[in-house]
Amino acid sequence: MQHFAKSFQSIVLKDIIPALKNNSNTITKLCLYGCHNSSNLPFLFGGLSGDLLEVLRFSSYYIEDFIQLQHVNFLNLQTLKFSYHCPKHEHLMKFLENNGKNLKLFHMTNSNKALRLSIANLCPNLRSLFIVFNDDELNILKTIFNNCKYLESIKIWCSSTIYDGKNYLVEEEVFETVANYSPNNFCELKIYNTSHFQISSKDLESFFISWKNRTPRKVLSLIILRTEKIFVQV
């Protein structure tokens, strides 16, 4: 049993914990959908803390159990994704203090400035990151690039217009920052775009010229998606 994915809306979580613990040394990927405030969730994770390494995923409105999970050490956890709904930021920051050093992939949509800043300090070995920046947080992106030396891929939400009452980074400044500040191993930029305007050919040409002049030179995968919702693909 290497991969366990289940919706706990229709079952009692405590009834399956013994079976999961008996197979804990073989479970490396755990996906949780709709865990509605189960007081047994920390015990489940406690039994898997030494072996879970691929994915720890929540997509639920009710994830208050992260109050306890923030203190669990996952010795081999490399991938952490949150779809749509995330724990309270202070709880997630504590979780990253304990587990961020081993993370190689971290995807989340909902964060605050303090949490975004903490990624640069607590997750130095990231290879892939998806995060949403406000329009005044270009320096945070630069700090992440500077501190996360192994980063290869980043996915960023961009919009040149106000979306959902907020302003986000625009493509032009993201292009410039990626070209000038991304680490040597960087090779993939994915932009989720909600603007009503197309990215200008001038901005693209300028970015490609800057990328071509980088040393060392590396092939870049540039993916631009038009979308109306912030989401994480798992």
Residue 95 to residues 36, 72, 80, 189, Cα–Cα distance (Å): 20, 7, 11, 27
Structure pTM?
Answer: 0.79
Evaluate whether 57 touches 205 at the Cβ level (below 8 Å). Answer: no
Tell which residue, 123, 180, 130, has the closest CA to residue 147. 123
From CA 99, how far away is CA 156, in angstroms rounded?
Answer: 23
Q: Which amino acid does the sequence have at 130?
A: F
Q: Are strands 128-131 and 105-107 parallel, antiparallel or unpaired?
A: parallel
Q: Which amino acid does the sequence have at 134?
A: N
Tens digit of each residue's pLDDT, the chain (234 residues): 444 444 444 445 566 666 666 666 666 666 665 555 455 555 455 555 555 555 556 555 445 657 777 888 888 888 888 876 677 888 889 999 999 999 999 998 878 889 999 999 999 999 999 988 988 999 999 999 999 999 999 999 887 655 565 688 989 999 999 999 999 999 999 998 876 667 889 999 999 999 999 988 899 999 998 865 554 443
| 3-class DSSP assignment, residue 63 | coil
